[in-house]
Amino acid sequence: MTYKKRIASLVLVDSLIVILSIFISFYMLLPFGELYDGQISTVLIPSSIVLLLSHHFFAYRYKLYKRVWQYSSVSELLGIIKAVSFSIIIVAVLQLALTGSLYTRTLVITWMMHILLIGGSRFAWRMYRDTYIKPDPDRKRALIIGAGAAGTTVARELKQKLNSELYPIGFIDDDFTKHHLEIMNIPVLGGVDQIEEIVKENRVEHIIIAIPSLSRNEIQRIYAECAKTSAETKILPLLEDIMTGKVEVNEIREVQVEDLLGREPVELDLEIISNNLEDKTILVTGAGGSIGSEICRQVSRFKPKKLILLGHGENSIYMIDMELRKKFGEIIEIIPIIADVQHRERIFEVVEEYKPSVIYHAAAHKHVPLMEYNPSEAVKNNIYGTKNIAEAAHEFGVENFVMVSTDKAVNPPNVMGATKRFAEMIVQNLAKESNTKFAAVRFGNVLGSRGSVIPLFKKQIEAGGPVTITDPEMTRYFMTIPEASRLVIQAGTLAEGGEVFVLDMGEPVKIVDLAKNLIRLSGYTEAEIKIKYSGIRPGEKLFEELLNEDEIQSEKVFPKIYVGKAMPLSKYELDFIISDLAGMCREEMVRTLISVANRKVVGDLIIGQRSS
C-alpha cells in the first residue's frame, strides 16, 4: 500500500470509529425521548463534528498516521491516549458553551470506546502477527547476550522480520534478578558463565552479543565463553562506533579481532578540537592511507571550511574523496590533490595556495623489512618528505603541524624506525624557531591498517594455513585506526611546540595470541590451521618501546596521553647529516641512519664527513 493510500485508509477508519463512539455513548446513556427532544441537533451533532475534527488534528499532532504499527509499543499507546483525551476535552468545552452543562458519562464512555477502538485498530495487525504467524521452522536458533534495551531491540527485530534467518530463543544476562523472567515471551536463561551449557541444551546455532556499552575486557571475557561452543558468534557495534555515525545500533556483524585486542577508546575534548578545526582549512598528507583517511573522516565531523586530501596514490585519493563527498560534500569543500611530499616545489605550491590552518602529516613508508632493502626510498619519503612539508608549514604560517610517528622510532635497529626518528627531530628543531606549533605523535601497531599483520594472517587462514609468526615471544602494542586518528587530532590541540606525544598503550600483546584469536574468529581450530615460526626478519625487534629511558615523563597531559622528553640533535648537526645522506652508498646510509637515530657517534660522523 502506498503512503497516500495508507493515510487515506487510516483517516477513513478513524472517522468511522469517532462517529461510532460518540453515537453509541449517547444512545446507551440518554433516553430516546431526550435524544429526540432536540438533543441530537443541539449537542450530539456539534459534538460529533468537533470530536472528529479534533481527533484528526491531534492525530496529526502526535503522528498517529506516521507510525509503523507493527512495531507499536508503549510510546504509540501514549500517543493515542493524548490525542483522544485532548479531543474529548475540546468537546467538553463545546458542550459547556452550548448547554451550560456537561454530559459527563457520555464523554467518559466515548473516551474509553475511542481509545479501545483506535488502539485496537492499530494493534490488531501486530497481535495477529505475534499470535498466528509462526516463525519459519528452518530459521536458526539465536541466543542474545544482554537483556537490556539493545538486546530487546534485537529480539524484537528478529521476531518481527519474517525473512530473517535467525529466531531468538533466549537471553543471557549477568543480572541475576532477570533470570527465569521473560521479555517478549523470550526467557532469560542464565548468566555468561552458563553459555556453554545453555547452547548445548537449546541447540543454539548463533550467539549475538547485544551490549554496545561493553568494555574491551568484558568483550574478551564473553567471547572466551562463546568460543567454547560450536555456535557462530556475532556482535552489535560498540557505543563509540554508533556515536561517530559509522554504523547503526541494530547492525549485527561478525566479532572482529579489533573487538578483542582494542582498548578503551580515548575520550576527546570535543570543544577544544571544534575550536581548532571548525570553519578552517585542513590539509592531510597521505590522505589515502589507513591513518590518513581515518583522520579525514574524524576531522570532517568538526565541519572544517576546506579539507585538502593530499596523496601520491591516485586510486586511494579518489576513494576517500568520493566517500567524504557523499557524507560531507554539502557542508565541506573537499579538495583532492595528487602530489608527492618528496617534490619540494609542488608541496610549497600547495601550502602557499590553500594556506591551511592545520596540517596532519601521515604520508610515510612504514613497512620495516621492505625499507631494509630500500633505505634510499625511506630517506626520500620519510626524511626529505617530512622536511619539505614541515618547512612549507613554517614558511607560510600554518598554525599547527602534527606528524604521525611510530613506536619504532625508539632506539631503532631498522631503517624505517631511524628515518621516523629523523623526521621527529626535523619537526622538533623547526618548533624552536617557528610560530607554527609542531608536534609528533607516536603509537604502536594499528589493527587492520595496510601492511599490518592482520590482513596477512587472514589471507593465510583463507588459504588453509599455516599462519607464519616470526617468534613465539614477539610482542607489539596495538590500537585501532579510529583511536590512532583521534590521538593525532587531540595532539594538535595540546601542542605548544616540539612535543612528542605518546598514547598510554596498556599492555603489549603477543603476536601468537593475536594469531590464535584470528583462527578462532575465522571458525577454525588450531589443529586445522597450524602456526609456523619463521624467525625474526631484518630490522625487527622482539619488543617495542614507546619511549626510551631518557624520554620517560610520568605525568599525563591528557587522559591516556603522555608527552615525551625526546631530545633532537642540534639543527646544525641534523642538517649536516641529512644533506649528505643522498650521496651515501647503501651500507653507509643504513649505518649512519641507525647510529644517529640512537644518538651514537654523531660527532665522529660529522668530523669524518668534513674530512672526506
Measured CA to CA, the distance from residue 51 to residue 49 in angstroms comes to 5
**Greatest CA separation for the chain:** 126
466 sits in which H/E element: none
Report the alpha-carbon distance of residue 583 to residue 180 in Å, rounded: 77
Which cell is 411 given?
632506539
DSSP 245: T
Instruction: Give me the residues paired with residue 140 across strands.
Output: 166
User: Residue 279 corresponds to which cell in the numbers above?
Assistant: 570553519
Distance CA 406, CA 417 (A): 7
Q: Which long-range contacts (CB under 8 A, 24 or more apart) does 448-452 make?
A: 448/258, 448/290, 448/480, 448/481, 449/289, 449/290, 449/291, 449/481, 450/289, 450/290, 451/366, 451/367
Grid cell at residue 184:
517478549
User: Which of 506, 522, 503, 504 lies closest to 514, judged by CA?
Assistant: 522
Hey, how many other C-beta atoms are within 10 angstroms of the C-beta on 504?
13
Q: Which of 159, 178, 408, 420 is catalytic?
A: 408
Instruction: Classify residue 566 by its DSSP letter.
Output: P
Alpha helices in 306-441 (DSSP H): 314-328, 344-354, 368-373, 375-378, 385-395, 415-433
List the grid coordinates of 234: 556475532
Of the candidates 407, 449, 425, 409, the one whose C-alpha atom is nearest the C-alpha of residue 292 is 449
Q: Please provide the DSSP assignment of 159-179 as one string.
A: HH-TT-SEEEEEEE-S-GGGT
Q: Could you give the angle at the alpha carbon of 353 between the alpha carbons of 307 and 425, nearest 5°?
A: 75
- Backbone torsion region of residue 12, taken as left when φ is above 0, otherwise alpha when ψ lies between -120 and 50, otherwise beta: alpha
End-to-end CA, the chain: 87
Distance CA 47, CA 26 (A): 11
The full DSSP string for 209-222 is E--TT--HHHHHHH
With H, G, I as helix, E, B as strand and everything else as coil, classify residue 593.
Answer: helix
Helices (H), 193-313: 195-201, 216-226, 239-243, 257-261, 270-277, 290-300
What is the 8-class DSSP label of residue 246?
Answer: S
Residue 87: Cβ within 10 Å count: 24
Is 408 marked active-site? yes
Positions annotated as catalytic residues are: 408
